[in-house]
């Protein structure tokens, strides 16, 4: 009997222990989650391929948006720009010459050439007329037929030259053709575009930080050959910061966008950082291996992100963090949904 009673007591103790371990956790109004400070980075590479001349920052340095962090060797590019500037200037003058048309001095010169050709034609006509008169009065004995033919030829040549000078004067008065002007302007625009392209390539020879960040890795050195496929730096983005965590389905309905949260870390256990829920995933996923939870079994969870204000830079990228969310907050009254797209 004593043995049976002892076994009964032991069974009751075991049952009580199992019940205590499996009992529902009391609702304290606070949800605790575990996550990490999200690592976001930029692989910063040159747009062109050339020799690296300068690497201006080191790993761990803070850089500002627009700051020049590296430079390429631009000596060859500078010579190409000088050549393009000369070609653009020549094209500019050629287009300007055609646009301005014929100068008054050129028209006056054409008129003088017409007058000279007219005088030559008149002289040739007089000589031909005189020779023919002599030939007619002497019956062909005072002048040979060859002299008359030569004079007739000179008269025709002079008349043709006169007509040519007159046409040249007409063209001078009309000015350049519109097609020639359009061609010159197109060549000018092409030269300008080529110069602008080279200057743009000169600007791209300076590698600039796109945002405020921290240099995480320096991957090239002066003398290396840069290319768009070879990053020069890896930059870690520190603003804004957020904590990536995961919540199971039973707790999902308790979360709302804008809900405040406290972020705790092992390095500053008594100094919580304030944050708010900024993103709740609408798609379930299996628990990632990197998620720190008390329940180690595989289950479906939903990703959330808590955005934080960390002016003292207590949270470092990749750092484990504990989130405590106050579930007693009232839902937002603006009608915002419980999920939102990733920023």
- Residue 16 belongs to some domain of the structure: no
Question: Measured between alpha carbons, how far is residue 146 from residues 140, 149, 153, 315 in Å?
Answer: 11, 5, 10, 113
pLDDT score recorded for residue 15:
67
Tokens describing residue 92: 């500019």
Last residue of a domain, one of 199, 225, 252: 199
- DSSP code at position 294: S
- Residue 1 belongs to some domain of the structure: no
Verify that 96 and 56 share a domain, yes or no: no
Sheet bearing 68-72, strands edge to edge: 52-55, 68-72, 206-208
Verify that 135 and 149 share a domain, yes or no: yes
pLDDT at 261 over 80: yes
The three-point CA angle 108-114-115 to 5° equals 90
What mean pLDDT is reported for the chain?
82
- Residue 299 belongs to some domain of the structure: yes
- Residue 338 belongs to some domain of the structure: no
Output 32 or 17, whichever has higher pLDDT.
32
Task: Centre a 10 Å sphere on the Cβ of residue 335 and count the other Cβ atoms it contains.
Answer: 6
pLDDT at 86 over 90: yes
pLDDT at 333 over 50: no
pLDDT score recorded for residue 340:
43
**CB contact at 8 A, 273 and 262:** yes
- Residue 12 belongs to some domain of the structure: no
R_g of the chain computed on alpha carbons: 46
Q: Please list, in sequence order, all residues whose beta carbon lies within 8 angstroms of the beta carbon of residue 9, skipping any fewer than 6 positions away.
A: none
Verify that 59 and 117 share a domain, yes or no: no
Span 84-104, mean pLDDT?
Answer: 87
Verify that 170 and 160 share a domain, yes or no: yes
Verify that 119 and 93 share a domain, yes or no: yes
Rounded CA separation 246/248 (Å): 7
Verify that 89 and 117 share a domain, yes or no: yes
Helix (H) / strand (E) containing 306: strand 300-308
Span 327-333, mean pLDDT?
Answer: 60
Verify that 171 and 30 share a domain, yes or no: no
- Residue 4 belongs to some domain of the structure: no
Give bridge partners of residue 233 from the DSSP assignment: 44, 218
Verify that 86 and 188 share a domain, yes or no: yes
**CB contact at 8 A, 172 and 107:** yes
**CB contact at 8 A, 258 and 277:** yes
Give the model confidence (pLDDT) of 161-216 as tens digits: 988 888 888 877 877 888 888 888 899 999 999 999 999 999 999 999 999 999 99
Rounded CA separation 169/274 (Å): 87
Give the model confidence (pLDDT) of 308-319 as tens digits: 887 777 888 888
Verify that 62 and 117 share a domain, yes or no: no
Verify that 153 and 49 share a domain, yes or no: no
- Residue 342 belongs to some domain of the structure: no
Query: Of 111-115, 196-200, 253-257, 294-298, which range is least confident?
Result: 294-298
Task: Give the CATH number, domain containing residue 49.
Answer: 2.40.50.100
Burial class (CB in 10 A: 0-12, 13-18, 19+), 37: buried
Verify that 32 and 98 share a domain, yes or no: no
- Residue 229 belongs to some domain of the structure: yes
Verify that 179 and 90 share a domain, yes or no: yes
Give bridge partners of residue 321 from the DSSP assignment: 35
Please indicate, yes or no, whether the overall pTM of this predicted structure exceeds 0.85. Answer: no
Tokens describing residue 316: 């470092």
Task: Give the CATH number, domain containing residue 322.
Answer: 2.40.30.170
Residue span of the structural domain in which 223 resides: 41-73+205-235
């Amino acid at each position: 009997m004593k043995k049976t009673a002892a076994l009964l007591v032991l069974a009751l103790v075991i049952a009580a222990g199992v019940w205590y371990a499996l009992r529902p956790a009391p609702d304290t109004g606070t949800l605790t989650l575990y996550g990490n400070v999200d690592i976001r980075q930029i692989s910063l590479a040159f747009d062109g391929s050339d020799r690296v001349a300068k690497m201006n920052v080191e790993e761990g340095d803070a850089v500002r948006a627009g700051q020049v962090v590296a430079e390429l060797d631009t000596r060859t590019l500078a010579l190409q720009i000088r050549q393009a500037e000369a070609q653009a200037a020549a094209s500019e003058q050629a287009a300007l010459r055609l646009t301005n048309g014929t100068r008054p001095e050129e028209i006056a010169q054409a008129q003088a050439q017409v007058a000279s050709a007219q005088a030559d034609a008149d002289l040739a006509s007089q000589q031909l007329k005189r020779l023919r008169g002599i030939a007619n009065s002497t019956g062909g004995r005072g002048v040979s037929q060859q002299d008359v033919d030569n004079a007739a030829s000179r008269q025709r040549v002079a008349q043709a030259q006169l007509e040519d000078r007159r046409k040249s004067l007409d063209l001078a008065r009309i000015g350049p053709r519109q097609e020639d002007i359009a061609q010159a302007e197109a060549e000018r625009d092409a030269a300008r575009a080529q110069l602008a392209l080279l200057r743009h390539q000169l600007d791209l020879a300076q590698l600039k930080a796109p945002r405020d960040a921290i240099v995480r890795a320096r991957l090239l050195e002066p003398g290396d050959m840069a290319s768009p496929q070879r990053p020069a730096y890896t930059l870690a983005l520190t603003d804004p910061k957020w904590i990536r965590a995961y919540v199971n389905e039973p707790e999902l309905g308790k979360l709302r966008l804008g809900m405040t949260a406290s972020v705790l870390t092992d390095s500053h256990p008594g100094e919580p950082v304030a944050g708010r829920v900024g993103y709740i995933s609408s798609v379930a996923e299996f628990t990632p291996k990197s998620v720190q939870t008390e329940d180690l079994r595989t289950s479906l969870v939903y990703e959330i992100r808590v955005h934080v204000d960390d002016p003292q830079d207590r949270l470092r990228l990749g750092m484990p963090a504990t989130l405590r969310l106050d579930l007693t907050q009232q839902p937002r009254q603006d009608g915002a949904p419980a999920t939102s797209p990733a920023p």
